[in-house]
Amino acid sequence: MNSIMISNIAIEVIRKKIKNINLSVHPPDGRVRLAVPEKMDEEAIKLFAISKLSWIKKQRGKFDLQDRQSIRKFLSGESHYFFGTRYLLNVVETSGKQHVELRNKKYIDLYIRPNSTKEKREKVMTAWYREQLKSIIPEYIIKWEEVIGVSVKDWGVKLMKTRWGTCNTRAQRIWLNLELAKKNPRCLEFIMVHEMVHLLERSHNDRFKAYMDKFLPNWRSIRDELNGLIYENSKWS
């Protein structure tokens, strides 16, 4: 069973080697995910989902009330985020070097050629985000290599659709999602620790979680902040 339909709500069901039922609701559209013990029967799963229906609807309702950022056109007056802080974009036409500057802790000034396309404005902004993110990554690597006791041979930044980071344990190479430049730096640090711990343990098993608890005790709250996750954990017996 991959999914069930309860009161016109599609619920993704994943069977795992766990003792607790993990129910979560994800932004931006309120996707519902239910992780259940491997031997839990289908009827019990449906009854559990029905018992949590009011909670699910409440959490999905919260997303409906949230302001959702429209597609960015990179025009003056738009809201853009940088390291967890909201800024107003101010487009400045220039014949000089195209670049980005922060001003008064409130504005992002985008210096761009007159009559520039949306794609060109986005390209300049993306290059700036990449530069800013790459400037602070080395300090986290140095800090956590000593704490965790591992060595990162190589790292890079790229745009990823489904992951915040990846780790090639054989090459000791870490990739980080460019979108982390828009998140609070503690989110970047969490992803760094997460990927570096994979150099000790490849799987997301209890040993991996124990390492995370040891090195970054509040990692779960940061993970939930990063993912915008609404989560409930229930015991099943």
Same domain (yes/no): 41, 119: no
Same domain (yes/no): 105, 171: yes
Same domain (yes/no): 100, 209: yes
Separation between Cα atoms, residue 10 and residue 33, nearest integer Å:
9
209, part of any domain: yes
Beta strands in the chain (DSSP E): 3-6, 9-16, 20-26, 31-37, 79-82, 85-93, 99-103, 107-112, 154-158, 165-168, 173-177, 230-235
Residue of 181, 71, 68, 69 whose CA lies nearest to 118: 71
234, part of any domain: no
Same domain (yes/no): 216, 125: yes
Query: For residue 210, which amino acid is it?
Result: A
Same domain (yes/no): 39, 86: no
CATH classification of the domain holding 102: 3.30.2010.10
Same domain (yes/no): 115, 221: yes
Q: Supply 136's token pair.
A: 């602070």
Q: Reduced to 3 states, what is the DSSP secondary structure of residue 64?
A: helix
What would the pLDDT profile of 167-207 be if each residue is shown by its tens digit? 999 999 999 999 999 999 999 999 999 999 999 999 888 99
74, part of any domain: no
Q: Among residues 14, 47, 68, which one ends one of the domains? A: 68
Question: How would you label 67-93 residue by residue, b for 16+ Cβ within 10 Å and e otherwise?
Answer: eeeeeeebeeebebbbbeeebebbbee
pLDDT at 237: 47
pLDDT at 51: 94
What would the pLDDT profile of 31-70 be if each residue is shown by its tens digit? 898 999 998 999 999 999 999 999 999 888 876 655 455 6
pTM (predicted TM-score): 0.73
Same domain (yes/no): 32, 133: no
Q: Where residue 236 falls among pLDDT bands split at 50, 70, 90? A: low
86, part of any domain: yes
Residue of 157, 158, 165 whose CA lies nearest to 138: 157
Same domain (yes/no): 64, 133: no
Outline where 52-97 has alpha helix (H). 53-65
Q: Among residues 16, 47, 68, which one ends one of the domains? A: 68
136, part of any domain: yes
> Where in the sequence is the domain holding 85, given as residue range(s)?
79-227
Q: Reduced to 3 states, what is the DSSP secondary structure of residue 28?
A: coil
Same domain (yes/no): 38, 139: no
166-170, long-range: CB < 8 A, 24+ apart: 166/195, 167/195, 167/196, 167/198, 167/199, 169/198, 169/199, 169/202
Same domain (yes/no): 8, 104: no
Same domain (yes/no): 130, 223: yes
Mean pLDDT (the chain) is 90
Q: How many domains does the chain have?
A: 2
Same domain (yes/no): 153, 203: yes
172, part of any domain: yes
237, part of any domain: no
